[in-house]
């Protein structure tokens, strides 16, 4: 019998959830790519699996923001927002601590949650998870950009139809028409084509490799030998980097845990959940911390000191150390730290002072949040960084999924206490496009509407759903009025201006050589890298790959 569906607010987003089962322990299921908690109960195989779990646990189901019965969203969700959704659902049902069961992409946020909130995690169970979703020399099992492009093309052209190659997710059910029809319907009801594309792009950016060593809860990694969606080597790679993790290789080639040898899967899960001995409350957890160094000493009674404190409080930061020139803050995640840093930068600059900011992530003591490496990072920021500059470590950059922030490699390499080298990146956020670079015409500087339009386009640069309608709404003019004014000042239509700003920004990023061409295409609002390349060549008479060369 299907449980009642309820809603809880996570920030401003409504998250749908269900609770069932009679077990003594709580288990939160974090689904993969797309879900719909109502439609789950129309699949006998999945119902049977869930009901078996319900015999040993109180099972908590929810649809991630942007999917299923939860609110749709217009931008990529950040990892902190997705962790907030888990916490909101747990709070709604009175769950202080739970087993996290993450499937496929849901395993990535489950792993980060376990490292960030060990006090709320009994243990971590995963099935068919990955640490990265784009090929690299140190993670060669992930799809290449060309393989990811095939997924984007499939979503764009065949979403929810029989041409989705769903048989690859469940080969053992390939000839079961009823099951395959349900699976196609399940995906359609879980996300629209646009939402599915957004979530797929989000998955492409996932990289949790650096945080695996900070997971200190009992962990079970389940992976099928011939799963073509997530390779067996990926599960082995993850298990090797989590202290004490148990890795179980299962026969079969299904990516879905509720088909194939489900009895074996259930047996492994039950044995682990019921017999694992929870570790004592962890003495360490993953922290995002920010170091700020101001050029001139600040009196604690000053207006600037008050403004800094208010800004930090708005973003949920905690002050660990505060001197006249330097402060160290902690945050629950990297995106809030980066958003806070950009606002702090503007606050300090408005008082004609200068500030240097650095952001890193480290596993530190819960008691004092400080370790030797954080002290080294403080020294780096105070002595080697440039005023009015924000630098982040590579780990921070990798976890800034869904954040509209741009990076360029920093000339300094951070040496840790253990002797490891860490790449640094400089943040530049919503950098205005020089209007003179859009075309050869000189735009009147007094044209405040044009400046407002350009700023709005820059703000939505990575949103491929952004267009003239949204632009007109946000700048408060009619489409006809905007068309007339832009034609007079730029000799471009609104669509041409949006495209030109995007392409010029993409050119800057390619020259900076900080990301792949596919990643830059997505960052600048193009859902198809191949289409991006065509538009780029038409604009600049050179292809992106030729520009790289």
C-alpha neighbours within 13 Å on the C-beta side of residue 407: 23
**pLDDT at residue 493, rounded to an integer:** 85
Span 461-517, pLDDT tens digits:
877 778 888 888 888 888 888 888 887 777 788 888 898 888 888 888 887 766 788
**What distance in Å separates the CA atoms of residue 404 and residue 402, rounded to the nearest whole number?**
7
**pLDDT at residue 262, rounded to an integer:** 96
Hey, which residues does 393 pair with through a beta bridge? 424
- Looking at per-residue pLDDT, the higher value among 237 and 315 belongs to 237
Q: Average per-residue pLDDT in the chain? A: 85
Q: Is the dihedral of CA 99, 101, 106, 112 positive or negative?
A: positive
**What distance in Å separates the CA atoms of residue 37 and residue 21, rounded to the nearest whole number?**
15
Mean local confidence (pLDDT), 346-374: 79
Specify the pairing of strand 13-20 against strand 57-62.
Answer: antiparallel
pLDDT at 438 over 70: no
Give the DSSP H/E element, type plus range, for residue 45. helix 44-54
Span 238-264, pLDDT tens digits:
999 999 999 999 999 999 999 999 999
Specify the pairing of strand 355-365 against strand 389-393.
Answer: parallel
- The token pair at 35 is 């879900």
- The token pair at 506 is 């993409």
Give the DSSP H/E element, type plus range, for residue 322. strand 318-322
Least confident segment among 41-45, 139-143, 413-417, 430-434: 430-434
For residue 268, how many other CB atoms are within 10 A of its CB? Answer: 17
**pLDDT at residue 12, rounded to an integer:** 86
Residue 369 — pLDDT band, cuts 50, 70, 90? low
CATH number of the domain at 449-548, out of 3.30.2020.30, 1.10.10.60, 1.10.10.10, 1.20.1560.10?
1.10.10.60
Query: What would the DSSP string read from start to end of 298-351?
Result: --TTSHHHHHHHHHHHHTT-EEEEE-SSEEEEEESSHHHHHHHHHHHHHHHHHT
* 412 phi/psi in degrees, rounded to 5: -90, 140
Q: How many Å is the maximal CA-CA distance in the chain?
A: 73
For residue 239, how many other CB atoms are within 10 A of its CB? Answer: 20
User: Closest Cα to residue 404, out of 467, 339, 346, 360?
Assistant: 339
User: Closest Cα to residue 424, out of 445, 399, 407?
Assistant: 407
**pLDDT at residue 489, rounded to an integer:** 72
Residue 435 — pLDDT band, cuts 50, 70, 90? very low
Residue 444 — pLDDT band, cuts 50, 70, 90? very low
Percent of the chain whose pLDDT exceeds 90: 39
**pLDDT at residue 368, rounded to an integer:** 61
Span 141-191, pLDDT tens digits:
998 888 888 888 888 888 866 677 788 899 999 999 999 999 999 999 999
CA distances in angstroms from 66 to 174, 191, 470, listed in the order given: 28, 7, 19
**pLDDT at residue 124, rounded to an integer:** 97
Residues of the chain with CATH 3.30.70.1230: 284-428
Asked if residue 494 lies in contact with residue 488, where contact means CB atoms within 8 angstroms, the answer is: no
pLDDT at 28 over 60: yes
**What distance in Å separates the CA atoms of residue 66 and residue 203, rounded to the nearest whole number?**
13
- Looking at per-residue pLDDT, the higher value among 256 and 205 belongs to 256
Asked if residue 204 lies in contact with residue 133, where contact means CB atoms within 8 angstroms, the answer is: yes
**pLDDT at residue 482, rounded to an integer:** 87
CATH number of the domain at 5-275, out of 3.40.1410.10, 3.10.20.740, 1.10.3720.10, 3.40.50.1820?
3.40.50.1820
Give the position of tokens 């993969």: 32
**pLDDT at residue 18, rounded to an integer:** 98
* pTM, entire model: 0.75
**pLDDT at residue 80, rounded to an integer:** 86
Mean local confidence (pLDDT), 514-533: 82
pLDDT at 86 over 90: yes
pLDDT at 371 over 70: no
**pLDDT at residue 439, rounded to an integer:** 39
Could you say which DSSP state residue 268 is in? Answer: H
- The token pair at 251 is 């026969």
Give the DSSP H/E element, type plus range, for residue 61. strand 57-62
User: Closest Cα to residue 203, out of 191, 215, 220?
Assistant: 191
Domain 284-428 is classified in which CATH homologous superfamily?
Answer: Nucleotide cyclase, GGDEF domain (3.30.70.1230)
Least confident segment among 45-59, 266-280, 358-372: 358-372
pLDDT at 437 over 80: no
**pLDDT at residue 446, rounded to an integer:** 37
Number of H helices and E strands in the chain, helices first, is 19, 15
User: Exposed e or buried b for every residue in 165-175, given b needs 16+ CB within 10 A?
Assistant: ebeebbbebee
**pLDDT at residue 315, rounded to an integer:** 87
Length of the chain: 549
For residue 464, how many other CB atoms are within 10 A of its CB? Answer: 19
pLDDT at 432 over 60: no
Percent of the chain whose pLDDT exceeds 70: 90
**pLDDT at residue 436, rounded to an integer:** 39
pLDDT at 443 over 60: no
Residues of the chain with CATH 3.40.50.1820: 5-275
Residues of the chain with CATH 1.10.10.60: 449-548
């Amino acid at each position: 019998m299907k449980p009642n569906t309820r809603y809880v607010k996570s920030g401003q987003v409504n998250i749908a959830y269900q609770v069932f089962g009679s077990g003594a322990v709580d288990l939160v299921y974090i689904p993969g790519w797309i879900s719909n908690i109502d439609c789950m109960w129309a699949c006998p195989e999945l119902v049977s699996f869930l009901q078996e779990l319900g015999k040993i646990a109180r099972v908590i189901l929810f649809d991630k923001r942007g999917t299923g019965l939860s609110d749709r969203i217009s931008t990529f969700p950040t990892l902190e927002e997705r962790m907030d959704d888990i916490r909101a659902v747990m709070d709604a049902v009175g769950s202080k601590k739970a087993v996290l069961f993450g499937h496929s992409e849901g395993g990535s946020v489950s792993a980060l949650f376990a490292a960030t909130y060990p006090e709320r995690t009994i243990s971590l169970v995963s099935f068919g998870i990955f640490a990265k979703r784009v090929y690299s020399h140190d993670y060669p099992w992930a799809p290449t950009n060309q393989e990811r492009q095939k997924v984007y093309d499939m979503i764009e052209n065949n979403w929810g139809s029989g041409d989705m190659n769903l048989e690859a997710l469940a080969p053992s059910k390939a000839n079961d028409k009823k099951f395959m029809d349900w699976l196609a319907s399940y995906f359609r009801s879980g996300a629209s084509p646009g939402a599915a594309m957004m979530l797929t792009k989000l998955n492409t950016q996932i990289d949790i490799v650096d945080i695996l060593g900070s997971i200190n809860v009992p962990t079970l990694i389940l992976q099928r030998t011939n799963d073509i969606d997530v390779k067996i080597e990926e599960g082995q790679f993850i298990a090797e980097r989590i202290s004490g993790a148990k890795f179980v290789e299962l026969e079969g080639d299904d990516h879905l845990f509720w088909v194939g040898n489900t009895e074996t899967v259930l047996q492994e899960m039950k044995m682990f959940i019921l017999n694992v001995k929870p570790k004592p409350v962890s003495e360490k957890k993953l922290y995002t911390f920010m170091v700020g160094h101001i050029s001139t000493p600040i009196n604690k009674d000053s207006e600037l000191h008050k403004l800094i404190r208010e800004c930090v409080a708005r973003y949920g930061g905690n002050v660990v150390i505060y001197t006249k020139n330097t402060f160290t803050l902690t945050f629950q995640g990297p995106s809030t730290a980066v958003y806070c840093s950009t606002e702090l930068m503007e606050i300090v600059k408005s008082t004609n002072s200068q500030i240097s900011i650095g952001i890193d992530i480290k596993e530190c003591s819960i008691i004092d949040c400080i370790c030797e490496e954080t002290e080294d990072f403080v020294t780096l920021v105070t002595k080697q960084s440039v005023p009015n500059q924000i630098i982040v470590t590579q780990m921070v950059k990798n976890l800034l999924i869904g954040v509209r922030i741009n990076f360029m490699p920093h000339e300094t390499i951070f040496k840790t206490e253990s002797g490891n080298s860490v790449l640094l990146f400089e943040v530049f956020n919503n950098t205005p496009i020089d209007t003179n670079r859009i075309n050869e015409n000189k735009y009147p500087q007094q044209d405040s509407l044009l400046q407002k339009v350009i700023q709005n386009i820059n703000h939505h640069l990575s949103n491929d759903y952004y267009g003239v309608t949204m632009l007109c709404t946000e700048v408060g003019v009619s489409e006809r009025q905007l068309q007339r004014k832009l034609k007079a000042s730029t000799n471009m239509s609104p669509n041409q201006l949006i495209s030109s700003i995007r392409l010029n920004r993409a050119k800057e990023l390619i020259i900076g050589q900080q990301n792949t061409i596919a990643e830059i295409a997505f960052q600048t609002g193009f859902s198809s890298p191949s289409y991006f390349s065509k538009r780029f060549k038409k604009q600049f008479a050179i292809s992106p790959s030729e520009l790289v060369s």
